[in-house]
C-alpha cells in the first residue's frame, strides 16, 4: 500500500559534487520509481566549495588557491517506461573558480549521465516492505573540456559505466536505503603528451582507475515530504597520491566520505510540483577537497501520454 503511494511521489534530484565534479543524479541512489508514462523534470543548482584539501593523506590549505568553488546548473529528468523501469538523465553546466592566486576558472557543459533503474523485487517483509533495485548507468563528456587542469577543471572527462544494487526497507513512513556501485572509468586523453605519476609516461592517454560508491540513507518518507540523512563513500580503486606541494592529477587516488541531509516537499499535489534542497559535508578524504555542498532544485511531473492510452496499454499488458 505504502509503496504504491510512493510511485506517485516525485523523484528526488540531487547532485552530489565531489572535488572533481563527480556528478551523481541522486534519483539513481533512491528507492523511488516514476509510474509508467510519467515524466519528471526540473532544474537544479549546486554550490560546492572547499578551502582545505588532502594532499595524499595530509590535510592542508593553499594560499594560492584560497577557496575553490564549483557551481553547477543542471537539468534532470526521469521517465517511467513501465512502473518497474525508469530512465533518468542529467546534463550539468559547470563553472569553477579559485578565490586566491592567479589561475583562471573554467566553465562549460560537462557530462551527460543516463541511468536505467529497474525494480527487480518488492515484497512485504515483517511490518514493512522490502524492495530490490538494479541500476545501470553511463556517462559521456558533452564537450572537449580539459580534465588536466585540476582543481579547476570542470570534470575528469572519463566515460563511465556503472552497475548498482540498491535495497530499501520501509515501515510506515520510515525508511532506510543502501546501495553499492561499481564504476568503470575509461582512460582519458590530455593536452600534454607526457606526464609523471609515480613514473614517467610518454603518452597523452591517462589510465583512470575504476571506482566504487557506497550510499546509505534513512529518514521519513511520505507522499508530500521526504526528509533523510545521507552517508556516502566514494573510492577510486587505484591511482596515486599527490606528492608534497604538487598539483592534483586526474588519475590520483580520490576518496571522500560525506554526510548530509536532504528534504523534499511537494507544494501542489494537483500538479505535482515540488521543491528540494540539502547539504553534504566531507568528513574524510584523500587527494580531494574537504567540500561543503549545498543544493536545491525544482521538480515538475506530468503525463507524457494521455490517461486514456495509458489505461489502454495497462490493459494490454494484463
Residue 205 or 267 with smaller CB distance to another protein: 205
Which residue of 174, 196, 265, 302 would you call a contact of another protein, by CB under 8 A? 196
Contact status: 125 vs another protein (CB under 8 A): no
Q: Which residues contact 198 (CB under 8 A, 6 or more apart)?
A: 240
Tell me 243's DSSP state. Answer: P
The CB-of-110 to another protein minimum distance in angstroms stands at 15
Binding mask 150-169 for another protein (x = CB under 8 A): -----------x-x------
Give yes or no for a contact between 23 and 17, defined as CB atoms under 8 angstroms apart: yes
Three cell numbers, residue 88: 533518468
In three-state secondary structure terms, 29 is helix
Contact status: 146 vs another protein (CB under 8 A): yes
Taking CB atoms within 8 Å and a gap of at least 24, the contacts of 204-207 are 206/148, 206/249, 206/250, 206/251, 207/251
C-alpha distance from residue 161 to each of 112, 115, 239, 302 (Å): 12, 10, 18, 29
Alpha-carbon distance of 77 to 88, in angstroms, equals 6
Contact status: 56 vs another protein (CB under 8 A): no
Alpha-carbon distance of 79 to 313, in angstroms, equals 16
Binding mask 83-122 for another protein (x = CB under 8 A): -xx--------------xxxxxx------------x-x--
Contact status: 244 vs another protein (CB under 8 A): yes
In three-state secondary structure terms, 2 is helix
Residue 72 or 160 with smaller CB distance to another protein: 160
Site for another protein in 203-242 (CB under 8 A): 203, 205-208, 210
Alpha-carbon distance of 183 to 166, in angstroms, equals 15
Residue 103 or 225 with smaller CB distance to another protein: 103
Contact status: 184 vs another protein (CB under 8 A): yes
Three cell numbers, residue 136: 545501470
Contact status: 187 vs another protein (CB under 8 A): yes
The CB-of-196 to another protein minimum distance in angstroms stands at 4
Site for another protein in 246-275 (CB under 8 A): 246-247
Q: Give the chain's radius of gyration (CA, Å).
A: 20
Q: Which residues bind another protein (CB under 8 A)?
A: 63-64, 82, 84-85, 100-105, 118, 120, 134, 136, 144, 146, 148-149, 161, 163, 182, 184, 186-187, 190-196, 199-203, 205-208, 210, 243-247, 317
Amino acid at each position: 500500500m505504502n509503496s504504491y503511494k510512493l510511485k506517485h511521489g516525485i523523484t528526488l534530484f540531487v547532485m552530489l559534487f565531489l572535488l572533481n565534479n563527480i556528478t551523481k543524479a541522486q534519483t539513481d541512489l533512491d528507492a523511488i520509481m516514476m509510474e509508467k508514462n510519467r515524466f519528471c523534470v526540473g532544474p537544479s543548482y549546486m554550490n560546492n566549495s572547499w578551502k582545505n584539501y588532502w594532499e595524499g593523506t595530509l590535510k592542508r590549505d593553499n594560499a594560492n588557491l584560497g577557496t575553490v568553488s564549483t557551481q553547477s546548473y543542471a537539468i534532470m529528468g526521469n521517465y517511467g517506461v513501465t512502473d518497474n523501469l525508469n530512465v533518468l538523465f542529467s546534463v550539468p553546466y559547470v563553472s569553477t573558480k579559485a578565490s586566491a592566486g592567479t589561475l583562471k576558472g573554467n566553465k562549460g557543459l560537462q557530462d551527460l549521465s543516463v541511468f536505467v533503474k529497474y525494480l527487480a523485487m518488492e515484497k512485504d517483509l515483517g511490518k514493512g516492505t522490502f524492495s530490490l533495485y538494479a541500476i545501470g548507468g553511463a556517462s559521456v563528456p558533452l564537450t572537449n573540456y580539459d580534465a588536466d587542469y585540476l582543481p579547476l577543471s570542470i570534470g575528469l572527462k572519463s566515460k563511465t559505466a556503472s552497475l548498482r544494487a540498491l535495497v530499501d526497507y520501509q515501515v510506515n513512513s520510515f525508511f532506510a536505503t543502501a546501495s553499492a556501485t561499481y564504476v568503470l572509468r575509461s582512460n582519458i586523453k590530455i593536452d600534454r603528451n607526457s606526464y609523471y605519476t609515480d613514473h614517467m609516461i610518454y603518452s597523452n592517454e591517462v589510465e583512470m582507475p575504476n571506482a566504487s560508491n557506497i550510499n546509505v540513507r534513512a529518514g521519513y518518507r511520505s507522499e508530500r515530504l521526504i526528509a533523510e540523512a545521507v552517508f556516502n563513500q566514494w573510492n577510486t580503486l587505484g591511482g596515486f597520491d599527490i606528492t608534497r606541494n604538487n598539483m592534483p592529477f586526474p588519475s590520483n587516488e580520490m576518496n571522500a566520505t560525506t554526510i548530509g541531509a536532504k528534504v523534499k516537499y511537494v507544494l501542489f499535489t494537483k500538479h505535482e510540483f515540488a521543491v528540494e534542497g540539502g547539504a553534504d559535508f566531507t568528513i574524510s578524504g584523500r587527494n580531494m577537497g574537504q567540500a561543503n555542498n549545498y543544493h536545491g532544485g525544482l521538480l515538475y511531473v506530468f503525463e507524457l501520454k494521455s490517461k486514456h492510452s495509458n489505461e489502454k496499454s495497462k490493459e494490454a499488458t494484463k
